[in-house]
Structure 1
Amino acid sequence: MNDERHIERKLKLVHIITLGLAYMAPFAVFDTFGIASNISSGHVPFAYVFVFLAILLTALSYGKLVKKYPSSGSVYAYTRNIINPYVGVLVGWLSFIAYLSLPMINALLAKIFISSLLPQIPGWTWIVGLVVLITLLNIFGIEFAAALNIGLVFVQILVGIVFITLTVHDINSGTGHFMSLNELMPKLHELSGFFGASALLGMSFIGFDAVTTLAEDTVNPKETIPKGIFFITIIGGVFFFTVTYFMQSLIPNVSILKNIQGASPEIATIIGGKAYLIFFILGGMFSVFASGLAAQISASRLLYAMGRDNVIPKRYFGYLNKKTKTPVFNIIITGILALCALFLNLEQATSLVNVGAFTAFLVVNICVVKNYFTLDNKSNIYYIVTELIFPGLGLIFILYLWLNLNKFAIVIGVIWFIIGIIYLMITTRCLTKEPVDIAFEELED
């Protein structure tokens, strides 16, 4: 096989964790707090606990599958090999909505953050500027982008720590009170809103999934990727719960705020004044930049896997630049598509991420369950728990979250699915020709 078709392995565990956290965008906890608190009647911290359990079980399923198939493609690759090649193409098509939409979200957030400080400059300039800059950096090389993300993730966590410190100070000064365990739990009549908020917050954890597309960029992917997935999920869950616990303790009812959708900047002003607000917005920009960088990397790698497999034209999508060893065409096309943010609002882009991500999470758990029935030692209690019960519970959790998505997301998902079916029928001559199998390499240490 020609060396030009191989992505150079440069990423280590620290890179995988920081890229996953960057894609996850820790700062997203602030962007969604006001809306989620309003929907859940002030139970955001426990909603994160519920989502965390669902995501952790799914993360364990991803960890198992990436050991079996350590190659670019993520859920697309797993489904093709475990369930069916046709289903694999359709699942990859659906999951790509999430990969493609997250760069749009970051571009929209850049517009929102900077326009709040510089309203005199047209918002579209920030969208275009961010997309162009991120595209150039990713073309330059993934190692550079990953190293840069280490610093960007650190800044986001630092802003979060300062936020928590100021919030605790205000609570101790008599504003609000620390929530008890009973207050964290929703009442029976609040469950509908609670699950709706949980579905919204599910997007916060997207990131552990994204790094599975980087298996071919990673040193020893069979060990590094599963470890990275686990650490990304744990770090994200602890951070999200901690931040929202103190935010909800300070402001139990967000209806007292002037702008529920922009709750976090308003809270930042309350706890730290204008000086901290500027620091907070700068942290938001770091989050947007880091997440956008990681999101475009993952989207381009998924396109590369599909192009190499000739599901989409290999001449373009399966091409690697000889000098940078990066899929330059995919990076550019992903950047161009991210400019659709010029025509969408934040709610629309977020809905697209959710429908794609939850579909991928569902199918990954199904793949692990199906794989269990192929095992020779199915009666082994270890395999019953880890290969059947855990992914089965993850499947139930994620299915419930998927059913609580808003109608806009479901409609877009159905339309996108129909387009995928049409494309599959054309490329396989009405299913009389199987899609070409991906050439997975079973890599040694």
Structure 2
Amino acid sequence: MNNITPSGGGTLKRNLGLWAIVGLGLGYMTPTVVFDTFGLVAEETNNVVPLAYTVALVVMLFTAISYGRMASAIPSAGSAYTYVKESMHPNAGFMVGWTSLIDYMLLPMVNCLIIRSYLEALFPDVPGWLWVVIYCIAVTGIIYLTMRGTSNLNMLLLVFSIIVMIVFVAMVIAQLTGGAAPGVSPLHPFLHADVDFGTVLAGATIVCFSFIGFDAVTMYAEEAKHPSIMPKAIMFTVLIGGAIFLIAAYFTQWRFPDSTVFPQEAIEDSTLPEIGLQVGGPVLQAVLTAAGFCATLASGLASHASVSRMLLVMGRNSVLPRKVFGYINPKTHTPTFNIVLTGAVSLLAMAFTLEQIAAYINYGALIAFSFVNISVIAYFAIRRNRRHTPADIFTYLVLPGIGLALTIMLWLNLDGHALLGGLIWSGLGFLYLLYITRGFTKQVAGFDENQPVTGVISNQALDLDAFSDLDKK
């Protein structure tokens, strides 16, 4: 395989197996975030949180299929940026990559914000900025040194948090059996008199950022032991993550059928500690908070590592300065500058709140999801001419078309401030694109039709139907 040589002479190392990548994706998704945002989503949806997650999961499943298709055809890091660049046009790829940098760059900050809120609650006399600095230094240092070590630590943290969530659900079931929610129907979390589809869509738009992680696993395509495992990793991540969210949201909503039982400040910040306190007292509150801490740290590791690889791909293409962003340390096999830069950006968690950041993340994510669905149509149906048989029409036109339509449905319910801020960011990206293309008089720097991002498309004959035959090597 003739990979493009990155700045510095180092290369990414293929040492991640299927479950290591799925673990990074689930870690990215932060399973315990369902408790952090539960009060906010319950208030928004008139107390049908699991229904909001169901709608979001359906949208994500169709989009996950599109990600799997593109990961089979273009086994490269870079995710939506690479897929749009290779299937449509380098300028379009740049704009999608630039816009999706919002969610990739801000997600590590979200994790830092949640960690800060946990530690401030435990140690109220310690200034919050100090926890932000300690967290950023620790996470940046771990990812700087080793990707395999990052994966192993992520898996340990993830397993602990899921075990605690299982214990929590078992306790809630025992309480419900004992009459903790008298008169509340088991169908109440999905259907009751105050359910309004408009508010459910608004809630689904909020929780869709919880699913960001299944798409981020495509960032590890060049570190997977074999490219063929990527579509399977994507589907396992979204299905397992969706199941965790739905089960936890369902039993929590059944146990707490009305969000007014939570203090307003908890709804605006995080209801996780309050949920733990009301279900199991101070002991469960401490244990559930510890699980939230571990899950958030796992997400911090995964999201930090992912954005550094997206910056790497854009640097290798000279869309961003190659010598800086395209550098891989030959000793650690990691894009060290990008890792440090992401850590520096995360320090801004000193000045923002979770609610402010989460809305902007959804803007970048929905842009990426929309264009990956479009990429399937462009790459397979148009460029590969696979649109003449019923099977091809269904696979490469109907399925991604449904995914695109569902994503647009969430777009229509995006927060107005997030939409405005996102459009400003996209506008800045467009101005930068004008600059690097000299007013569209030349291609985006570094683009070569005959040499895609990794060099693997023209040099390695990968089966385009690998998504349908995932065990084939």
TM-score with structure 1 setting the length: 0.96
Q: Cα distance 1:62–1:257, how it changes in 2: closer, same or farther (>3 A)?
A: same
Q: Tell me the secondary structure at the aligned position of residue 222 of structure 2.
A: helix
Contact 1:179 1:245 (8 Å CA) reproduced: no
Unaligned runs of 5+ in 2: 463-472
Q: Distance in 2 between matches of 1:421 and 1:81?
A: 19
Paired residue for 2:305, among 297, 322, 327? Answer: 297
Q: Which amino acid letter does the alignment assign opposite residue 142 of structure 1?
A: M
Question: Is 1:220 the counterpart of 2:229 in the alignment?
Answer: no
Paired residue for 2:401, among 374, 392, 396? Answer: 392
Which stretch has the larger CA shift, 393-402 or 431-440? 431-440
How far is the alpha carbon of 1:203 from its aligned partner? 0.6
Contact 1:186 1:194 (8 Å CA) reproduced: no
Question: Is 1:322 the counterpart of 2:330 in the alignment?
Answer: yes
Q: What is residue 35 of structure 2 aligned with on the other side?
A: 30
Q: Distance in 2 between matches of 1:410 and 1:166?
A: 40
Q: Distance in 2 between matches of 1:66 and 1:282?
A: 35
Q: Distance in 1 between matches of 2:284 and 2:195?
A: 38
Q: Tell me the secondary structure at the aligned position of residue 216 of structure 1.
A: coil
Q: Distance in 1 between matches of 2:174 and 2:188?
A: 23
Q: Distance in 1 between matches of 2:192 and 2:371?
A: 29
Contact 1:111 1:127 (8 Å CA) reproduced: yes
Question: Is 1:237 the counterpart of 2:245 in the alignment?
Answer: no
Q: Which amino acid letter does the alignment assign opposite residue 149 of structure 1?
A: N
How far is the alpha carbon of 1:356 from its aligned partner? 0.6
Q: Which amino acid letter does the alignment assign opposite residue 440 of structure 1?
A: T
Question: Is 1:13 the counterpart of 2:2 in the alignment?
Answer: no
Q: What is residue 250 of structure 1 aligned with on the other side?
A: 255
Question: Is 1:99 the counterpart of 2:107 in the alignment?
Answer: no
Contact 1:254 1:263 (8 Å CA) reproduced: no
Q: Cα distance 1:2–1:407, how it changes in 2: closer, same or farther (>3 A)?
A: closer
Q: Which amino acid letter does the alignment assign opposite residue 221 of structure 2?
A: A
Q: Tell me the secondary structure at the aligned position of residue 53 of structure 2.
A: helix
Q: Tell me the secondary structure at the aligned position of residue 184 of structure 1.
A: coil
Q: What is residue 440 of structure 1 aligned with on the other side?
A: 454
TM-score with structure 2 setting the length: 0.91
Question: Is 1:164 the counterpart of 2:178 in the alignment?
Answer: no
Q: Distance in 2 between matches of 1:188 and 1:154?
A: 37
How far is the alpha carbon of 1:186 from its aligned partner? 6.2
Per-residue CA shift, 1:400-420, capped at 9, x if unaligned? Answer: 112211111101101100110
Matched positions, count: 444
Q: What is residue 320 of structure 2 aligned with on the other side?
A: 312
Q: What is residue 120 of structure 2 aligned with on the other side?
A: 115
Q: Distance in 2 between matches of 1:85 and 1:282?
A: 44
Question: Is 1:379 the counterpart of 2:388 in the alignment?
Answer: yes
Question: Is 1:55 the counterpart of 2:60 in the alignment?
Answer: yes
Unaligned runs of 5+ in 1: none
Q: What is residue 411 of structure 1 aligned with on the other side?
A: 420
Higher helix share: 1
Paired residue for 1:424, among 430, 433, 441? Answer: 433
Q: Tell me the secondary structure at the aligned position of residue 103 of structure 1.
A: helix
Paired residue for 2:377, among 366, 369, 372? Answer: 369
Contact 1:70 1:441 (8 Å CA) reproduced: no
Q: Which amino acid letter does the alignment assign opposite residue 395 of structure 1?
A: L
Q: Distance in 1 between matches of 2:220 and 2:58?
A: 24
Which stretch has the larger CA shift, 169-178 or 108-117? 169-178
Q: What is residue 361 of structure 2 aligned with on the other side?
A: 353
Q: Which amino acid letter does the alignment assign opposite residue 392 of structure 1?
A: G
Q: Distance in 2 between matches of 1:168 and 1:188?
A: 24
Q: Distance in 1 between matches of 2:192 and 2:201?
A: 10
Per-residue CA shift, 1:127-176, capped at 9, x if unaligned? Answer: 11111100000011100000111111101101111110111111111111
Q: Cα distance 1:73–1:41, how it changes in 2: closer, same or farther (>3 A)?
A: same
Counterparts of 1:194-205 in structure 2 under 5 Å? 194-205=200-211
Q: Cα distance 1:418–1:376, how it changes in 2: closer, same or farther (>3 A)?
A: closer
Q: Cα distance 1:328–1:256, how it changes in 2: closer, same or farther (>3 A)?
A: same
Contact 1:61 1:364 (8 Å CA) reproduced: yes
Paired residue for 1:283, among 284, 288, 291? Answer: 291
Contact 2:15 2:224 (8 Å CA) reproduced: yes
How far is the alpha carbon of 1:316 from its aligned partner? 0.8
Q: Which amino acid letter does the alignment assign opposite residue 159 of structure 1?
A: V
Contact 2:51 2:189 (8 Å CA) reproduced: no
Q: Cα distance 1:170–1:212, how it changes in 2: closer, same or farther (>3 A)?
A: same
Q: What is residue 465 of structure 2 aligned with on the other side?
A: none
How far is the alpha carbon of 1:381 from its aligned partner? 2.2
Q: Which amino acid letter does the alignment assign opposite residue 439 of structure 1?
A: V
Per-residue CA shift, 1:216-240, capped at 9, x if unaligned? Answer: 111112x211111000011011111
Q: Distance in 2 between matches of 1:431 and 1:376?
A: 28
Q: Distance in 2 between matches of 1:87 and 1:327?
A: 25
Question: Is 1:129 the counterpart of 2:134 in the alignment?
Answer: yes
Contact 1:5 1:318 (8 Å CA) reproduced: no
Q: Distance in 2 between matches of 1:302 and 1:142?
A: 15
Which stretch has the larger CA shift, 367-376 or 344-353? 367-376
How far is the alpha carbon of 1:373 from its aligned partner? 3.1
How far is the alpha carbon of 1:6 from its aligned partner? 2.5
How far is the alpha carbon of 1:37 from its aligned partner? 0.7
How far is the alpha carbon of 1:369 from its aligned partner? 2.0
Q: Distance in 1 between matches of 2:5 and 2:354?
A: 42
Per-residue CA shift, 1:335-382, capped at 9, x if unaligned? Answer: 111111112111111112111111100110111122323344423222
Q: Distance in 2 between matches of 1:417 and 1:376?
A: 32
